[in-house]
Amino acid sequence: MHSVLKMQNITKSFPGIKANDNISFELRKSEVHAILGENGAGKSTLMNILFGIYKPDFGDILLNGEVVKIKGPNHANQLGIGMVHQHFKLVKNFTVTENIILGIEEVKNGVVDLSASRKRIVDLSEKYNLNVDPDAVISDITVGMQQRVEILKMLYRDADILIFDEPTAVLTPQQINDLMLIIEKFTKEGKSVILITHKLDEIMSVADRCTVLKTGKSIGTVDINKTNKDELSKMMVGREVNFKVKKGLPNIGDIVLKVDNLNLKSATSSKNILKNVNFEVRAGEVVTIAGIDGNGQSELIYSITGLIQGATGNIFVSGTDISNMKVRNRTLTGISHIPEDRHKHGLVLDYSLEQNLVLQEYFNTKYQKKGVLDFDEITKNAEELIELFDIRSGRGPRSIVRSMSGGNQQKAILAREIARSPDLLIAVQPTRGLDAGAIEYIHEKIIQERDKGKSILISSLELDEVMNISDRILVMFEGEIVADLNPDKTTYEEIGLFMSGSKRGVSNDQK
């Protein structure tokens, strides 16, 4: 197959870092070409250059053999290049159709002609089984559908080089399967796909080739049918990666978190979002909440951490009733929270890394000197956490978090919340967006906290993660906890049956 795209000797520096260092990359017609690399390796940067967001300091881009200078995203679109970003870029209060045509509206007699565009969107949606409602408002639709709107945006512009930057990080397993089928359909039609993902199973199942980046450099490109997961992770991290965390039997102590008959009514319908939720997490155990997205897990966690009010029932941490406390007081009672939405609840994007690393503690005497902030101490804390959690960025403690790579932003939150070592660590999708080596490290850290006698409550959509780190698995379905399972005595299939509501009410872990 001939190549549709060549990037040659691409180099791009940011203050303090060479994000891309002499990278060459070739995309063939009708292939799925995966890009794999550690957090901060330069994957998004390389694709942002291809999409015209950054200009390379050095190097050429050739499309169908001809050198092009890509002036910006609109120009990239005109050249047939489309991109779905790591963080979506949709206007929340616009409809699907309005978002898709934004910037290339068709005008008839001086007004925007929505009907022709709408028809085209419906046709494209049907053709690729995207199931998108053209009239829905973005803020009302699920993350999975928002992503399909981004895909439609590319198709609407007739892109034939499609870039996906970590498309599956925010999707549920079912949505991931659907996306893989859509990607296969694209390549059958002659489109070419670049897929950035940290999930090696996805690479093995859909990609034809994989290029591995490491600290800004290309390590090489391999054929997928001549490699395997272990070899890919070794190429990327430079050592073997353990996908299964080593852990002994838990040494279980007193009750730390007690959730007592929690109920939450929906603001918009008569449905109950949480129904009689009762459970405990004891010192020294990792309890995981599994479930299909949207079965009340987020609201349960938000109710415990105080981000939403309105649930009836009681929540106790180490015997203290925190049900009516403000977020700050709950934190001080001994809760750490790694939130689902890292941009909304986890970080202040325009603050520096060192400032973000003390958001929960800057008011403590440790960081105060004669009533003002002790910046030396704040920097020292950052230096320690950067080293311990391997947080990579251009300017160390002084990096602005917005400019950091997605995975390193996540590592910053993990570092801050885990290092506080509170009695109760609550983590939602803790390893979202992390590379395989970083996931291994975080899982080890979580088990270390457990073995120090801390309580861990995790909510995760990824069954592999659930099976890997839990001592106990609670399955949520339609706002209820329908199972309390011992991971050693259950199977993926059984959990799946509970998650889908086909099985309920029994426990294999009679205590």
Which residue's structure tokens are 């007081």?
329
CA–CA gap between residue 471 and residue 247 (Å, rounded): 10
Question: Distance (Å, rounded) from C-alpha 282 to C-alpha 253?
Answer: 6
Residues paired with 149 in a beta bridge: none
Helix (H, G, I), strand (E, B) or coil at 157: coil
Choose which of 295, 297, 305, 405 interacts with ligand ATP (CB under 6 A): 405
CB closer to Mg ion out of 435 and 440: 435
Return the one option of Mg ion, ligand ATP, none that residue 99 interacts with (CB less than 5 to 8 A, by type). Answer: none
Of all residues in the shown chain, the one whose CB is closest to Mg ion is: 44
- Shortest gap between Cβ of 360 and ligand ATP (angstroms)? 23
Q: CB of 70: closest distance to ligand ATP in angstroms?
A: 17
Residue 342 touching ligand ATP (CB under 6 A): no
In the β-sheet with 312-317, what is the strand arrangement from edge to edge? 272-282, 255-265, 312-317, 320-321
| DSSP code for 134 | T
Q: Contact with ligand ATP (CB under 6 A): which of 195, 222, 317, 404?
A: 404
Nearest residue to 214 via CA among 35, 414, 451: 35
Tell me which of 4, 5, 33, 43 binds ligand ATP, using CB under 6 A. Answer: 43
- 408 touches ligand ATP by CB under 6 A: yes
**Residue 17 or 286 having the CB closest to ligand ATP:** 17
Q: Which of 6, 14, 423, 501 binds ligand ATP (CB under 6 A)?
A: 14
Determine, following the binding rule CB under 6 A, whether residue 392 of this chain makes contact with ligand ATP.
yes
Here the contacts of 226-230 (C-beta below 8 Å, separation 24 or greater) are 228/204, 229/200, 229/201, 229/204
Identify which of residues 206 and 213 has a Cβ nearer to ligand ATP in the complex: 213
Q: How many residues bind ligand ATP (CB under 6 A)?
A: 20
- Interacting span for ligand ATP (CB under 6 A) from 32-40, 110-118, 284-292, 345-353: 32-40
Listed in sequence order, the residues at least 6 apart from 324 whose beta carbon sits closer than 8 Å to its beta carbon are none
Task: State the minimum distance, in angstroms, from the CB of residue 23 to ligand ATP.
Answer: 11
Contact between 50 and 201 under an 8 Å Cβ cutoff? The reply is: no
Cβ neighbors of 336 (< 8 A, separation 6 or more) are 360, 417, 418, 420, 422, 424, 425, 426
Measured distance between the N- and C-terminal CA atoms of the chain, rounded to whole angstroms: 60
> What are the φ/ψ torsions at residue 82 (nearest 5 degrees)?
-125, 155
Residue 19: which of ligand ATP, Mg ion, none does it interact with, CB under 5 to 8 A by kind?
Answer: ligand ATP
CA 95-187-154 angle, to 5 degrees, is 25
CB of 12 to ligand ATP, least distance (A): 8
Q: Which is nearer to ligand ATP, 15 or 310 (CB)?
A: 15
- At closest approach, how far in Å is the CB of 433 from Mg ion? 8
407, 422, 437, 487: which one contacts ligand ATP (CB under 6 A)? 407
Residue 406 makes contact with Mg ion by CB under 5 A: yes
**Phi and psi dihedrals of 431, rounded to 5?**
-105, 15
Q: Mask: binding to ligand ATP, 98-137, rule CB under 6 A, as x and -?
A: ----------------------------------------
If binding is defined by CB under 6 A, does position 85 make contact with ligand ATP?
no
Shortest spacing between CB 165 and ligand ATP, in angstroms: 7
Applying CB under 6 A, which of residues 32, 33, 34, 42 lies at the interface with ligand ATP? 42
Q: How far is the CB of 407 from ligand ATP (least distance, A)?
A: 3
> Tokens for 185?
């359909």
Least distance CB 458 / ligand ATP (angstroms): 21
Q: Write down the least CB distance from residue 40 to ligand ATP, Å.
A: 4
Determine the Cα–Cα distance for residues 278 and 303; give it in Å rounded to an integer.
13
Which residue number, 147 or 405, has a Cβ lying nearer to Mg ion? 405
Q: Is 197 near ligand ATP (CB under 6 A)?
A: no
Q: Which residue in 23, 41, 262, 338 binds ligand ATP (CB under 6 A)?
A: 41
Q: Residue number with the shortest CB distance to ligand ATP? A: 407
CA distances from 247 to 178, 253, 286, 419, 466 (A): 34, 17, 11, 20, 14
- Could you say whether residue 44 binds Mg ion (CB under 5 A)? yes
DSSP code at position 328: H
How far from 452 is each of 37, 445, 471, CA to CA, in Å?
32, 11, 15
The nearer residue to Mg ion, 86 or 331, going by C-beta atoms, is 86
* Closest approach of Mg ion to the CB of residue 86, in Å: 5
Structure-block tokens of residue 314: 């009681």
Question: Could you give the maximum distance between any two Cα atoms of the chain, in Å?
Answer: 74
By the rule CB under 6 A, 431 interacts with ligand ATP: no
Minimum distance from CB of 77 to ligand ATP (Å)?
21
Which of ligand ATP, Mg ion, none is residue 282 near (CB under 5 to 8 Å by kind)? none
CA distances (Å), origin 248, targets 242, 255, 318, 469, 501 = 16, 20, 25, 11, 32
List the single partner that 170 binds among ligand ATP, Mg ion, none, CB under 5 to 8 Å by kind. Answer: none
Lay out the sheet containing 58-63: strands in order across.
Answer: 17-28, 3-14, 58-63, 66-68
Q: Does residue 52 touch ligand ATP according to CB under 6 A?
A: no
- Contact residues toward Mg ion (CB under 5 A) are 44, 405-406
- Contact residues toward ligand ATP (CB under 6 A) are 14, 17, 19, 37, 39-45, 392-394, 403-408
